[in-house]
Amino acid sequence: MLKNITLSADEELILKARKKAQRERTSLNATFRRWLRQYANKSVGKTNFRAFMATLDYACPGRKFSRDEMNER
The per-residue pLDDT for range 23-73, each reduced to its tens digit, is 999 999 999 999 999 888 876 555 677 777 788 878 877 888 889 988 987
Is 4 among the domain residues? Answer: no
Is 60 among the domain residues? Answer: no
Nearest Cα residue to 35 out of 55, 50, 12, 53: 55
Is 64 among the domain residues? Answer: no
Q: Which domain holds residue 25?
A: 13-41
Is 8 among the domain residues? Answer: no
**Angle of helix 28-41 relative to helix 11-23, nearest 10 degrees?**
100
Nearest Cα residue to 33 out of 55, 13, 66, 4: 4
Between residues 11 and 72, which one has the greater pLDDT? 11
In angstroms, the CA 9 to CA 15 distance is 10
Number of domains in the chain: 1
Is 72 among the domain residues? Answer: no
